[in-house]
Amino acid sequence: MLTKDRLQELYDELLSTYPAGLSSTSTKKFDKTRDYLASELGIKKEEIYITGSGTRAGNLEVRLSQGQQAKQHTTLGVAYLLDELGTDENTSKLTNSAFTTAEKYVGASGKAEYDIILVIVIRGTDLSVTGIMYLDGSPIATKILSDLPNLVARPISTTSSASLGTLCQGSSFIQKIYFGAPGAGKSFKVNERISGSYAIRTTFHPDCDYSSFVGSYKPVVQDPSNGSQEGGQITYRYIKQAFLKSYLKAWRLFSSPLTTNANITSFEVKGASYTITAINSGQITQTKDIDMTKRQVFNVWVDLWKDGVFTIPKGRQSGRSIEQAISAYIVTNCLSDGATVDVFDDGWDCLLEKLKEGQIKAKASLSGKEYTLSEANEKDRIHVRIVANNTKKRIEECYKDIEECNGVEKGIVDILYGFNSETFDEAWEALSAKVNTNPQSEASGGTNTAAPVYLVIEEINRGNCAQIFGDIFQLLDRQDNGFSVYPIEADSEIQKAIARAFEEEEEFKLLQKLDVDYAVDNYISVFGSSLSEDVEKGRVLLLPPNLSILATMNTSDQSLFPMDSAFKRRWEWEYVPIDSTNRRSQFKITIGDKIYQWGSFLDKANERIHKLSDSEDKQMGNFFIKSDIDVDEFKCKVMFYLWSEVCKEYEHSGSFFKNKRNNEAEFTFNSLFPTNDVTNEILQGFMEYLGIEEA
């Protein structure tokens, strides 16, 4: 049984050998702890990576990506953090910050991959196991939670961890509101999610309504036939807005011939798309499709140059073979003799030019696995396809005991269950018949996935959502397959606009007729038609599975237009915490001859805000400012916010605008203008009153 006491004993032993404790980044010191965890959890020592991250959870960004298990799959990652303040509040903050930093590495294809990350906080020399982040369904995580039941747990859904910017599986839609303090990084989180994908943005405000979100007829001036700007006639045209544009674009991409039967022969594991392409009597073949970034290839490229000579290492190179194959192709086909490690950019650009002419086959060595390279949607990415096989015998074993199988095998078995969950031979035969008669085969290059479309709504709570969404609200109820549960009948104006767009407009024209009669159970058309035809003609609205809706909500404005519970429950919610340790927000504040740390100011000011308002709603996020700032920007942005949103509103509770250099006398916002030595003196005294660290 895994116990906190035994982990404490092992940490005490570590300190006896390494008195500096966690100050060093060495991982060797954790060998005995790894042995213990491996024994108790029933996994290999090599499947565990332990690191110390000091007092800053943000250091895990480097530790997890460049540590011992970098670019390999790792079952368990353990992060030791130091609580230098010695408070329960700080321990909780460290744990949440670790979660925020480490989330991208849980099942993150292309980085150091972890199934589980365990957070351990040290206070003095006392050890506490505080949190666990894990892939949902992990049996090892279940074991840890059973042995240590009081952990803060954050499961990561395997269905929503798709690699950003890649083709998405039909059922991997996202409908989420990111909420938090102003400047916490909500829009940044959204940008990470939609990177490289088609996205349409809109911002809600008090005057928004249904027509400004969906569309409406508006007067437009037609160009006169003689080309003159004079004499143009006014006519009315239906102007599409953010919702309708994203809706139409999603259906266009969904109608691509490559998406046919995506729900039958495709699945997704850890952000990579898999498609079953062939089945015979004893074997099943599937392709794996991923995007490989320039940075990923370059990181391996550098390691392959030894003493100025490019060398592919011998033996199995887990997690690096794709990058090695791409690097080998660049050296052989894109660079001249005598090339060096420094010409990678030239080689990459050459590779992109060659891909414009068609697919390329690449492998690291004569005996290595072959990969098919093709163009991706972005310059710094290329698309990679890998062909792999599983034996019928192995899949049958998984069919009977799916818990003993890996993610790819589970994906295949899930598809088999869809045909027949009782008899393997019948399921195999049915899938074989479907795959071998499916025109979207390997020969056609089809991936059977639909490219994602994102509708992004900034400041969703600044508009009246009930008024803006109207009947579209009903579409937000989504099934597991990603389609809306309840199609709604469109009004005549929208019907005409949709039908015209699907038939005539190049940006939205369907690439082939829709075949989605399976999408809604027991659908009965009031038009005496099929669901597919009703959607095509615009008679009914139905959200497709590749349309995701993301929104941001500022907690300081959450009461502007309250959302009712029925609207709220149709969304996932993710709180974006304030993280003053975030490495991207280590800004400086210059006031006169003094320079202060933004992170220190943020912590101290937010403590005052919380004490004054008895709420977290008005606190500032770490990206409230975007870069280093001088005194003028500090006054007009930060101090103005504190005065107008906090001190003025909660004036009865007492202002914290006090100058330590003047016996903690209060000062006014007006007294900070104009900027001169006197106002610099006041602000420096204010910083000293709050206890802000100098940089």
In a domain, 166, yes or no: no
The pLDDT assigned to 124 comes to: 87
- Host H or E run for residue 227: none
CA dihedral of 305, 308, 312, 318, whole degrees rounded to 10: -20
pTM of the entire predicted model: 0.51
| Domain coverage including residue 372 | 262-444
Residue 404 and residue 314 in one domain: yes
Which of 444, 466, 484 is the endpoint of a domain?
A: 444
Residue 150 and residue 181 in one domain: no
Which of 538, 553, 568 is the endpoint of a domain?
A: 553
Q: What is the three-state SS of 452-480?
A: CEEEEEECHHHCCHHHHHHHHHHHHCECC
CA dihedral of 224, 229, 231, 236, whole degrees rounded to 10: 70
Supply φ then ψ for residue 381, to 5 degrees: -135, 155
Q: How far apart are CA 283 and CA 436, in angstroms?
A: 13
Taking the chain (695 residues) in runs of 10, the rounded mean pLDDT of each run is 91 84 65 91 86 78 57 80 85 83 66 79 91 83 85 67 31 83 89 78 94 90 56 80 96 69 64 80 84 90 88 72 90 88 91 87 78 82 88 91 84 81 80 58 38 91 92 91 91 94 91 87 90 96 94 76 83 89 90 95 92 82 92 95 81 78 92 94 96 91
In a domain, 364, yes or no: yes
Residue 434 and residue 502 in one domain: no
Residue 196 and residue 331 in one domain: no
In a domain, 561, yes or no: no
The pLDDT assigned to 61 comes to: 66
Residue 120 and residue 9 in one domain: yes
In a domain, 190, yes or no: yes
The pLDDT assigned to 207 comes to: 92
In a domain, 468, yes or no: yes
Residue 287 and residue 419 in one domain: yes
Residue 369 and residue 300 in one domain: yes
The pLDDT assigned to 654 comes to: 67
In a domain, 565, yes or no: no
Residue 348 and residue 294 in one domain: yes
Q: How far apart are CA 459 and CA 480, in angstroms?
A: 27
Residue 279 and residue 355 in one domain: yes
The pLDDT assigned to 647 comes to: 81
**Does residue 636 sit in helix, strand or coil?**
helix
Residue 277 and residue 228 in one domain: no
Which of 156, 188, 221 is the endpoint of a domain?
A: 156
> How many structural domains does the chain have?
4
Q: How far apart are CA 455 and CA 201, in angstroms?
A: 6
* Exposure letters 656-689 (e unless 16+ CB within 10 A, then b): bbbbeeeeeeebebeebeeeeeebbebbbbbbbb
Q: Please, are residues 62 and 308 in contact by the beta-carbon 8 Å criterion?
A: no
Q: Please, are residues 257 and 446 in contact by the beta-carbon 8 Å criterion?
A: yes
In a domain, 169, yes or no: no
Residue 435 and residue 460 in one domain: no
Residue 540 and residue 675 in one domain: no
Q: How far apart are CA 457 and CA 180, in angstroms?
A: 15
In a domain, 140, yes or no: yes
